[in-house]
Chains A and B, each alone.
Chain A
């Protein structure tokens, strides 16, 4: 008997038992179940929830692997900088090296494991208690979480945040598909508000910087947005291509706009993510950036203002630093928490980009606002949809009325 049949037999044997959902989850993860629906009209398609989730994870893999190389590279670069011999980037020479990858893998894989371990354990627990099947919703969240946190986030903090995010962000609303807020961003927001010292500053973005702090080996790595927010925009030496390809400090997966762009195109091509949201979010960010640039050009904001650094930052460069690109491609397009109507998606995306850059500039504590902007628009997404649908009904009613009226006119004439 094949392994598949054996699993199927066990499943039949324990049908209705308490632990059945947990077993079924593993079963359907490995194999397609034997039973299919026989009657009724059904669309036969292969893109079930599991396939959808796996497609997104595929789109995330390059970002994750790049993140590992970059984590190692930023560490060694910071050590060199502290020793007074700043590195110049050489992709094959000192970026794609085994040392970098190994150091990155050793720090980032534990984040991935904790994120999946804690999150899936809670999903299984809730499925067993409530007696429903385990849903695949956490597969993507579990991969997103390690990519949007600083590399040295303590594992217990991550575990607490994941538990909070999955329970309060998702399970209390009824599980996958019922949540109002994006669970991965809920986890990120929890970490940000609960442990701000681990989420911002110039120590958390480089591996071991916290550990070395105060010793002769002290190293640091400020993000570009961090430099700008402190009005030290002239001090960083990253070129535009560094920003675009991602050889800069930042959260694990957010740095490489290039790979995120590829992932985004892949998601658009596979029709998993909405291009409307991505495009409108980019437009929103550019609009806000242009407004800020305009304010600076008009001379309303001078160099003495604490907002000058970020406001004078070229509007389009906002797209290639910080988490904006990652947020737009992987988080804003979450089909559960985003707007559902096509017209609504334009508004939803536009405001995400617009508000992201706004928060980025005005937030005194932390020069990044993508996660806050997306969470805010998550809350407003149903309202946007409501008005889009209502507007549509109104338009159709009007059309029906006028066409009826003209028909009547024809008849009476």
Chain B
């Protein structure tokens, strides 16, 4: 990479796969189960978290030397809450229907363990540039898994992708539905999302056995 040193590039590439916040650190599971029934919601959630985390990490990193360590959690909460409210208002203004679908989960980005975790573990100890890269790296790793889950859940659960009927029309009986295919209602329920996360973890670890924890 031209502009990034190898070490900096790893900040982005690591959380995508080998240190993924969801599949390796098992953080942020709640939202991964709650809002992934549709691909669109997954993507919006991923972008929102990308914004909050990238910016939040920079802000915390810039203030890291003046935050008294006793109240640092409160300061982090103020920063993340501010950013989340910005995201929430933007969604309500420009994508009202979608903000209805995401409902409380936009607000709950505040409690997303990945964000507080990165503030604590990285932004408080590193400069703004590296913090920014770390933030978007982790958010991208989170978003990547979200999009994968959303893809399978929407495709198998509703037979659509981003709202387009890719498998045919279930009522008119066209496409796959003409030969008796039916949508899998289980895919739309949260337990199946957990199973999909489990399968992703399974696939990832069997591709890269180094990731398997010793016990």
Residues of chain A touching chain B, judged by Cβ–Cβ distance below 8 Å, are 154, 156-157, 160, 168, 172, 190, 193-198
Contact = CB atoms under 8 A, between A and B. Distances in A.
Given A168-B195, A172-B202, A193 B189 contact: yes
Contact of A154 (B180, B184, B186, B192): B180
B52 to A, nearest CB: 34
Nearest to A168: B195
Contacts of A196: 185
A157 B184 CA distance: 9
Which of B184, B187, B195: most chain A Cβ within 10 A?
A: B184
Given A160-B184, A194-B187, A195-B182, 12 more contacts: A154-B180, A156-B180, A172-B198, A193-B185, A193-B186, A193-B189, A193-B191, A193-B192, A194-B186, A195-B184, A196-B185, A198-B182
Contacts of B187: 194
A4 B143 CA distance: 58
Which of A157, A168, A193, A198: most chain B Cβ within 10 A?
A: A193
B185 A194 contact: yes
The A interface is mostly helix, strand or loop, or mixed, namely helix
A205 B182 CA distance: 19
Give the top 9 A-B pairs by smallest Cβ distance, nearest first: A194-B186, A193-B186, A194-B184, A194-B185, A195-B182, A196-B185, A168-B195, A154-B180, A193-B189
Interface string B154-195: 000000000000000000000000001110111101011001
Nearest to B185: A194
B185 A195 contact: yes
Contacts of A193: 185-186, 189, 191-192
Contacts of B182: 157, 195, 197-198
A397 B186 CA distance: 49
B138 to A, nearest CB: 27
Contacts of B185: 193-196
A212 B12 CA distance: 58
B215 to A, nearest CB: 13
A190 B180 contact: no
10 contacts: A156-B180, A156-B181, A157-B182, A168-B195, A172-B198, A172-B202, A190-B186, A194-B186, A195-B185, A198-B182
Which of B180, B186, B192, B198: most chain A Cβ within 10 A?
A: B186
A168 B192 CA distance: 11
A205 to B, nearest CB: 18
Nearest to B206: A129
A160 B180 CA distance: 14
Which of B182, B187, B202: most chain A Cβ within 10 A?
A: B182
A172 B191 CA distance: 16
Contacts of B180: 154, 156
Contacts of B186: 190, 193-194
A155 B113 CA distance: 43
Contacts of A172: 198, 202
Contacts of A198: 182
A358 B195 CA distance: 27
Contacts of A154: 180
Contacts of A168: 195, 198
A198 B180 CA distance: 12
Contacts of B184: 160, 194-195
A242 B129 CA distance: 77
A178 to B, nearest CB: 15
A64 to B, nearest CB: 26
B33 to A, nearest CB: 15
A159 to B, nearest CB: 12
Nearest to A194: B186
A196 B202 CA distance: 28
A236 B189 CA distance: 35
Contacts of B181: 156
A197 B181 CA distance: 13
Nearest to A195: B182
Contacts of A157: 182
Contacts of B195: 168
Interface string B114-128: 000000000000000
Nearest to A193: B186
A316 to B, nearest CB: 34
A69 B38 CA distance: 45
A383 B33 CA distance: 27
A84 B202 CA distance: 57
Nearest to B157: A194
B186 to A, nearest CB: 4
A164 B212 CA distance: 23
A6 to B, nearest CB: 37
Contacts of A190: 186
A160 to B, nearest CB: 8
A383 to B, nearest CB: 20
A170 to B, nearest CB: 14
Contacts of B202: 172
A190 B156 CA distance: 14
Nearest to B180: A154
A168 B195 CA distance: 8
A154 B186 CA distance: 17
A198 to B, nearest CB: 8
Nearest to A189: B186
Contacts of B189: 193
Which of A154, A194, A198: most chain B Cβ within 10 A?
A: A194
Contacts of A160: 184
Nearest to B191: A193
Contacts of B198: 168, 172
B11 to A, nearest CB: 33
